[in-house]
Amino acid sequence: MPTPIADLRGRIEAQTTDNPAMYGSVDFAIRPERLLGESADDIARSELRGYPDVAARLLDNRELMERMAAYTLMGDSVADPYAALIPELGFKRLVDMLVEACDKGVDKVEGAPPELVTFIRSMEATPAWVDMKLVEEGARLQRVAFANFAPWAIRGAFIATFMNKYAALPMALTGTLSNKTAARRIKETATFFGTSVLPGALHRFGAGFKAAAMVRLMHSMVRFNVLSRGRWDQKVYGIPIPQVDQMPAGLISDFLISSKVIKEGREHFTPEERAQIELSRYRCFLLGLPEDLLADTPRGIVDAWNARALSLRSGFDEATCGGLLRATMEADLVDASTPAGKMRDRLERSFAKVYFMQNFCDGSERTAASFGVRIRPIDKMRAAAVGLTLMGQVQAYGVAAKTPIVRHLADRRLVGKVRGYLGSLGHAEFTTDATKYKPAPELKPAA
């Protein structure tokens, strides 16, 4: 059952008293500028402005919109208190203890603070709805797409997270405007999702479980640093990296699958679709997303996704969004020191541009250009060549997956490709350096 709205409001207020080091100066009675979804006038100002009929229907679902508003004001109730120990224990000690707790169990960590115990125990409290066999099957199915598409599409997908100044600001404040830092964040994102589709990765002592814990700590450290250092305008932005802003990365595959189901006139997932949905839902649970945001039906998933867009004020700021976008496009993700490397680098950048245009700009070159991503004829040619190759690979693996004799061999090959790609990304630290943070920009009041 969904959490009652009254209880959610109580949890919002409790952040102030439960974690005063982080939220003591936050006034949760203030409705931030970013938060919309109260009236029909909000539709044209929101990220759902291109779909007025969908937005109007969602506005009638007051419980859903109030739930989105509540989670827009909520951080991570168990990782945040642990991150707030930075002044007492230090950044490195917090990271080291979390790594040890993931690798050996929290009981093995000498001097583990109660906040760490609570953090790990909450991740270990697997919900009753989780079917690990289904999760493993979902991971097997998603290995095909990840192994073949991720190395080419990750840059384009990452750009999409910077399209809104209200949601993108934490990344800008943490110094991600540089080529080097942007590349590091892209590789960390790819590392987490790639790790999660490996066999057994999301079990208690799997690499995916550990990566999820590290991602949560990184997000909580960002919240602590920007809130405690006076670099955040709560009246405009609300709180840094609220629960709803983790939905786009965590649930994009669920949204695309669900949208396809609805377009085909279906109300239920196929067994293969259900497995992939459950993989994402459990992965999001480990990342700290509440079950209230993890719908399990096609319509519920699409409505939750669109409600989040309706609750978010539209805004592309050149300094914040444009800077992040340029840093991402310029980031070096491929070793271009050889002729073959240079060719792959050109192909990857072109494919990423076209992927971004097709998936996040409704296929419009003009829209992509308005965000600073200009598609040249050569980009289309390169992307088409890569796309044809990738589709051939995916189809081949699809046939192999249905052939008993070669199915396991094909999956072993996919696991090898995923591991090889992860190895090329280097070691993911999942950390954040507060000394490189920048002040929040002063923005004009929204219209």
pLDDT digits (tens, 9 = 90+) for 391-446: 999 888 888 888 888 888 989 999 999 999 888 887 665 555 544 444 444 434 44
Among candidate residues 52, 73, 70, the one with its CA nearest the CA of residue 306:
52
Mean pLDDT, residues 131-154 taken together: 93
Average pLDDT, the chain: 90
Number of domains in the chain: 1
The length of the chain is: 447
The predicted pLDDT at position 326 comes to 85
pLDDT, tens only, 190-202: 889 999 999 999 9
pLDDT score for 299: 97
Give the predicted TM-score (pTM) of the model. Answer: 0.89
Q: What is the pLDDT of residue 3?
A: 92
β-strand partners of 217:
none
Q: Determine the pLDDT at residue 402.
A: 82
pLDDT in tens, 294-307: 999 999 999 999 99
Q: What is the pLDDT of residue 442?
A: 43
Q: Is residue 440 domain-resident? A: no
Residues 6+ apart with CB under 8 A from 135: 202, 275, 278, 279, 282
The confidence score (pLDDT) of residue 403 equals 85
Check residues 128 and 319 and name the one with the higher pLDDT. 128
Q: Residue 80 and residue 85: Cα distance in Å, rounded?
A: 9
Mark residue 289 as left, alpha or beta (left: phi above 0; alpha: psi -120 to 50; beta: remaining).
beta
Domain of residue 380, residue span:
34-426
229 assigned to some structural domain: yes
Over residues 50-79, the mean pLDDT reads: 96
pLDDT of residue 429: 57
Residue 92 lies in a domain: yes
User: 312-341, pLDDT tens digit by residue?
Assistant: 999 988 888 888 888 888 888 888 889 999
The reported pLDDT for the residue numbered 160 is 80
Average pLDDT over residues 141-147: 92
Q: Which of 145, 155, 147, 142 is nearest to 347 (CA)?
A: 155
What's the pLDDT at 437?
Answer: 41
Q: What is the Cα–Cα distance from 404 to 291, expressed in whole angstroms?
A: 37
176 has a pLDDT exceeding 90:
no
Measured torsion, CA atoms of residues 432, 186, 203, 112, in degrees rounded to the nearest 10? 0
Q: In the chain, pLDDT over 90 holds for what percent of residues?
A: 68
- Say if 138 falls within a structural domain: yes
Where is pLDDT greater, at 362 or 383? 383
Please check whether residue 438 lies inside any domain of the structure: no
Counting residues of the chain whose pLDDT is more than 70, the rounded percentage is 94
CB 185 within 8 A of CB 162: no
Average pLDDT estimate for 137-158: 91
pLDDT at res. 444: 44
Q: Is residue 23 part of a domain?
A: no
Do the beta carbons of residue 90 and residue 259 sit within 8 Å?
no
Q: Of 277, 281, 285, which Cα lies nearest the Cα of 213?
A: 285
Q: Which pLDDT score is estimated for 214?
A: 94
Cβ-in-10-Å burial (0-12, 13-18, 19+) of 10 comes to exposed
Q: Which long-range contacts (CB under 8 A, 24 or more apart) does 352-357 make?
A: 352/152, 352/153, 352/154, 352/155, 352/156, 352/159, 353/156, 353/329, 353/379, 353/383, 354/156, 354/379, 354/380, 354/383, 355/152, 355/153, 355/156, 355/157, 355/383, 356/156, 356/157, 356/159, 356/160
* Nearest residue to 332 via CA among 182, 141, 107: 182
Q: What is the pLDDT of residue 398?
A: 83
3-state per-residue secondary structure call for the chain: CCCCHHHHHHHHHHHHHHCHHHHCCCCCCCCCCCECCCCHHHHHHECCCCCHHHHHHHHCCHHHHHHHHHHCCCCCCCHHHHHCCHHHHCHHHHHHHHHHHHHHCHHHCCCCCHHHHHHHHHHHCCCCCCCHHHHHHHHHHHHHHHHHHHHHHHHHHHHHHHCCHHHHHHHHHCCCCCHHHHHHHHHHHHHHHHHHCCCCCCCCCCHHHHHHHHHHHHHHHHHHHHHHCCCCCHHHHCCCCCHHHHHHHHHHHHHHHHHHHHHCCCCCCCHHHHHHHHHHHHHHHHCCCCHHHCCCCHHHHHHHHHHHHHHEECCCCHHHHHHHHHHHHHCCCCCCCCHHHHHHHHHHHHHHHHHHHHHHCCCCHHHHHHCCCCCCHHHHHHHHHHHHHHHHHHHHHHHHHCCHHHHHHHHHHHHHHHHHHHHHHCCCCCCCCHHHCCCCCCCCCCC
The residues with which 46 forms a beta bridge, in sequence order, are 313
pLDDT of residue 322: 86
Q: Is residue 206 part of a domain?
A: yes
Domain-embedded: residue 10: no
